[in-house]
Amino acid sequence: MSKIPFDTGAVLVVNKPLNWTSFDVVKKIRYEICKHYNIKKIKVGHAGTLDPLASGVVVLCTGKKTKTIDQLINESKQYVGEIRLGSTTPSFDLETEIDKEFPLPKLDENVLTNISNNFSGEILQIPPIFSAKRINGRRAYQYARNNEEVILKPNQVTIHHLELKVLNKNTLSFNCHCSKGTYIRSLARDIGLFLDSGGHLISLKRIKSGNFSIEMAKSIDEWIDIIKAS
């Protein structure tokens, strides 16, 4: 196996663990590369943010390969996860506590088909206030954590495919192939609204980013071992 040129330019497919930010992954890999090659700095970036409460594929680029990041960011993504129905949270996921509860909807195959049809193709989606979206030079979550009101404009995104299954009376599992910029947390919230109930995301894993799949991904520790052996 030929050695990977981390110092001059490489693409790494990382399986991000829960509770790490995408930037945490960048910082750790950059530190290990600088340490191994005894250099002071190197360009390392990621091709698409993944929330701390999500796991799965994060694509990193080093050195000259960072020039390809814009292209990689624009590629579609695929996720699997679970949506809890009957309740909402301000962050649309488990980052914040439940703030409201609603009656549970009746779920059957016809209902699931209606959801998939309603949320397929080009849709308008309002990002979560607890997100990294920039508003007037600040991140949306900075407003949210300071209890400041801010209006987020809807974005047009594309849902290429949405498959849903009933796990139990208050939980749906999903497999979603979507365009860049899609907030799965917002999708969970909107599905709850569509069902005249509430909904929030309770688990999320990115299984594909462009042509890079979870089967290709290595853990952070595995990448560190590969760096040390290069």
64-102 residues labelled b (16+ CB within 10 A) or e (exposed) = ebbeebeebbebbbbbbbbbbbbbbbbbbbebeeeeeeb
* Residues 95, 198: Cα–Cα separation, whole Å: 16
3-state helix, strand, coil in the chain (%, to 5): 30, 35, 35
For tokens 């030079």, the residue is 137
Q: Which of 51, 70, 99, 221 is catalytic?
A: 51
Instruction: Assess whether 51 carries a catalytic annotation.
Output: yes
Q: What is the DSSP letter of 3?
A: P
Amino acid present at 141: Y
Distance of CA 162 to the CA centre of its chain: 16
Cα separations in angstroms, 27 against 36, 42, 226: 14, 11, 17
123-149 residues labelled b (16+ CB within 10 A) or e (exposed) = bebebbbbbebebeeeebbebbeeeee
Q: Of 186, 195, 194, 176, which is closest to residue 93 (Cα–Cα)?
A: 186
Residues annotated as catalytic are 51
